[in-house]
Structure 1
């Protein structure tokens, strides 16, 4: 009888506390991994663009080259602005997905707890 009660208590702790905690931790780790990966991709893109511009500037040898460099800067500024917009949208989508999954997890856990409490 004591073993049966212990098993039931263990099962209740698993379903009410440990299972949901593991599920949320897994969700949080996945989100963090995706966010860090996305940020690293951003950093790489911006670094490559910046280094490219530095190299382009170092190759300026005359007024025509300088004019060409300045015109290129305008294109790079536009491209960087476009990249920033896309990158911001990626982060917003990651955050939205994380919030929706978190909310679903909470709803499922509330239903599970309610069901367990009624038994």
Structure 2
């Protein structure tokens, strides 16, 4: 026979919550927030690039003579500069999001280590 009597009313989940589930949920929330921001940034960038490409195609369709071609080619230079600037800003935005994620992850880890040390010290007493 089993002499082990488990009483769930006496089982303290606070320690498990504070050392395992709480930090896991906090990190999951941080990851989901980061993913949402990154996906939104990518969608915004994709839309801007698609809009730019379509605008260039529409401009090309309006070329009817040499003057129109010259004007289109000049517009292409400006479009290339605008695209390069947009790419730079988008890359900076992604780097900023990644740095923010790392910083928040480090802060979360430090808080969890501190809490685990406090819990361990209390348990040892």
Unaligned runs of 5+ residues in structure 2 are: 1-6
Cα RMSD for the two superposed structures: 1.1
* TM-score, length basis structure 1: 0.94
Instruction: Tell me which residue corresponds to 1:69.
Output: 72
Does 2:22 align with 1:6?
A: no
Work out which of the two has the higher radius of gyration on C-alpha atoms and give 1 or 2: 2
Q: Are 2:89 and 1:86 equivalent residues in the alignment?
A: yes
Q: TM-score, normalised by structure 2?
A: 0.90
Q: Distance in 2 between matches of 1:4 and 1:76?
A: 69
Q: Is 1:34 aligned to residue 37 of structure 2?
A: yes
Structure having the larger proportion of residues in helix: 1
Query: Within 5 Å, which residues of 2 pair with 1:41-56?
Result: 41-56=44-59
**Are 1:59 and 2:62 an aligned pair?**
yes
- 1:53-82 alpha-carbon deviations (Å, 9 max, x no partner): 001001100010001000000000000000
Alpha-carbon separation, structure 2, partners of 1:97 and 1:80:
26
For residues 118 and 71 of structure 1, the distance between their equivalents in structure 2, rounded to whole angstroms, comes to 71
Aligned residue pairs: how many?
A: 116
Take 1:111 and 1:62, find their aligned partners in 2: how far apart are those partners?
72
- Note the residue ranges of structure 1 that are not aligned, 5 or more in a row: none
CA displacement at 1:5 relative to structure 2: 4.5
Equivalent of 2:25 in 22, 27, 30: 22
Which stretches of structure 1, 4 residues or longer, exceed 6 Å deviation after superposition?
Answer: none
